[in-house]
Chain A
Amino acid sequence: MNPFETLRFAVGGLAANKVRSGLTMLGVLIGVAAVIILLAVGNGSSQAVKDSIEKLGTNALTVSSGGGFGGSSAATSTKPLTVDDARALADPASAPDVESVAPEVTTSQTALYDGTSHSVNQVVGTYPAYFKASNSKVAKGDYFSADDVLNSRKVAVIGSTTATDLFGTASPVGRKIVIGGTPFTVVGVLDTKGGTGFQDPDDTVIAPLPTVQNAFTGFGPVSQILVEAKSADATTPAQNEITTVLMSQHGIKDSSALDFRVSSQASLLDTQASTNKTFTVLLGAVAAISLLVGGIGITNIMLVTVTERTREIGIRKAIGAPKGVILGQFLAESTLLSLVGGGLGVIGGLIGSRFTIVGIKPVVIPESVVGAFVIAVAIGLFFGSYPANRAASLRPIEALRHE
């Protein structure tokens, strides 16, 4: 019995029950395709996070009010961040690694244009340095200038989502929109950033700080201060300088009782990336379970096949089939099931990964394709070995008597 003949017998055996073989293969197919697609989705979403880290600029640091987790209780009193704090940070003598500083206030308002109403996620009042630090580029028009800030002009740069919602395809530059009752002139539209989070970063309006304070938030504390370090390597010294400067501003002696927090964009995204990893592992686990279920399907069908063909096994044994040949025949059948199912699953998985799934462009991991296929075949061998062994161990006289 050469391998080719064993294979021919196996094909014959599977072809005898086409629907049953097909359904069993479908189980493996779904398992393999699920592994490939779900891992590709997970990978695609972490890839998107990585891309947005690069988009945001790794030089940016965010200073926000309040201590760390539970840190606020350690602080005797929490002083809010102010424009004065920002001014102190901008002093090149005390903070030489800081490139620029942009205090921010944020609010949420409704924008109106020509009867169209749109609720803007984030209305940001800040300095022009914000654009560079947050890696926001304009697609149309221009940024507002330092002069606009000094004169509290009612100008705004809007995000791409806000622009399409309010203006459709028309160009918004130079038009007036009404935000929370105050008219603003649109001077620029930002490039689409795209995002993976729950908040759309493109649904935003950025206006000069005093204008927003005057119109909405009042001249109190700022929400946060965006600081840009001189280079990506300078973020750590810059972080230390910011801490020192703000401690003296807020009169804090104890470094463990800070009433503010300095975090880099990169570290925020690292958190998001690790969340993504958990997500990918979870997806992978679900897919692996479906692959396992496919494997159990193979065992089940092979057991049925062995029972059904007990008499045939008896005949083969009576005419001298050694144990190994019977074992080989049934193992070949189960492996063939998983091999064909796995192969079709790989094709299905690769095709499925070409579509965008819930807003995520899947990125196929080559190892997952090879891995899923190899595991599927191994499952066929492993789960087929029990029924095959049962068939091979049948005593010929009992197998022949089986009805």
Chain B
Amino acid sequence: MRQLLSGRLGRVRTGAHRAAGPDGAAAPVEEENLWGPSPVIEVRSLLKTYGHGDAAVRALGGPPDPVTGVSPGVDLVVEQGDMVAVMGSSGSGKSTLMNILGCLDVPSDGRYLLDGIDVGGLDEHQLSLVRNRKIGFVFQSFNLVPRTPALAQVELPLAYAGVKAAERRRRALAALSLVGLADRVDHRPNELSGGQQQRVAVARALVTAPAMLLADEPTGNLDSHSTEDVLAIIDRLNASGRTVVLITHEDEVARHAKRVLRLVDGQVVADVRQAPVDGPPPALRDPAVFAAHAPHALTSGGS
């Protein structure tokens, strides 16, 4: 497993150089094998329970079958280049799913293959490599490292990956200019607005050219204008081929996704495709029509 992992990580690392170009993101290059490009995420009968026995809480996987006593679990496949929005009310298990997909938490049962790697068989150090190189996180509460200027913030994942200082700086600057913050590189989190902080977080997430961008309610703490900015960046990233998984409870955000999953009580109850996997996300497919169908006056400030 270690060998497979390092081989794949190596491939991602070479891909990272392409991400530093002016468009900031690379088209996914997957070696063609017999089965076609492997999905970025492949989840089979995933379960997550907290506690034991009678006190056990099923956060993910749904209630047990009354006959067999086995929970059905969550099955999910996300293809390369897709943009998936996971929706659900609070307590529906979407954050638990996000934590497992982001390798921050381990499932109680089930298999999770990230970019072809079985994450369940990895040790602590290998998991940190996976988080560093395969996943870019964007959190609702920004989660920037305190007292650290934007540039150092974005350089941090590269520093953990062992990239040399000059190369790191170049790539971090490219990522920051991609999110439109080239003039804010020396600002600390407390000197940036919420929208700017979230854009720094997006730059930090994409600087390592990860296999997927994982965003947990990325616009939950933002005003409408900043929401538009951040979503526009995410749309552009997806248009250039980056796989995106969004967690949200806002229809306005879900409208941007190519595919919408709805979670209720830890189970996928609806799976709607809004746009094909190949091709631009809905917002960029026909911007005028997309804007006209806005449910409320949200887009007036973001045009």
Using CB atoms and an 8 Å cutoff, list the residues of chain A in contact with chain B: 1, 5, 12, 16, 311-312, 314-325, 395-397, 400
Contacts and interface: CB of A to CB of B under 8 A. Distances in A.
Determine the interface band of chain B, counting residues with CB < 8 A from chain A: 20 to 34
B259 interface: no
B147 to A, nearest CB: 6
Contacts of B208: 320
B4 to A, nearest CB: 19
B144 A315 contact: yes
A319 B201 CA distance: 10
10 contacts: A317-B104, A317-B128, A317-B131, A320-B130, A320-B131, A320-B132, A320-B133, A320-B160, A321-B132, A323-B124
A318 B102 contact: yes
Given A316-B145, A324-B125, 5 more contacts: A315-B145, A319-B132, A320-B133, A323-B124, A395-B105
A317 B105 CA distance: 12
A5 B157 CA distance: 13
Given A1-B162, A396-B104, A319 B146 contact: no
Nearest to B130: A320
Contacts of A320: 128-133, 157, 160-161, 208
A48 to B, nearest CB: 54
Contact of A319 (B99, B125, B160): B160
B104 A316 contact: no
Contacts of B204: 319
Contacts of A396: 104, 131
Interface string B137-160: 101000111111000000011011
A12 B147 contact: yes
Given A1-B162, A5-B159, A316-B145, A322 B99 contact: no
A390 to B, nearest CB: 15
B99 A316 contact: no
Contacts, number: 65
A377 to B, nearest CB: 26
Contacts of B131: 317-320, 396
A322 B129 contact: yes
Contacts of A314: 143
A54 B161 CA distance: 68
A306 to B, nearest CB: 15
Nearest to B96: A397
A312 B147 CA distance: 11
A315 B162 contact: no
Interface in B138-195: 139, 143-148, 156-157, 159-162
Given A319-B156, A320-B133, A396-B104, A312 B145 contact: yes
A298 to B, nearest CB: 21
Contact of A1 (B129, B130, B160): B160
Nearest to A309: B146
Nearest to B131: A320
A315 B105 CA distance: 14
A318 B143 contact: yes
A12 B137 CA distance: 24
B104 A321 contact: no
Contact of A316 (B105, B147, B156): B156
A323 B125 contact: yes
B160 A325 contact: yes
A325 B160 CA distance: 8
Given A12-B147, A319-B160, A397 B105 contact: yes
A395 B106 CA distance: 10
Contacts of A323: 124-125, 128
A321 B124 CA distance: 11
A319 B137 contact: yes
Nearest to A4: B165
A321 to B, nearest CB: 5
Nearest to B161: A320
Contacts of A311: 143
Contacts of B125: 322-324
Given A317-B128, A318-B137, A397-B104, A16 B147 contact: yes
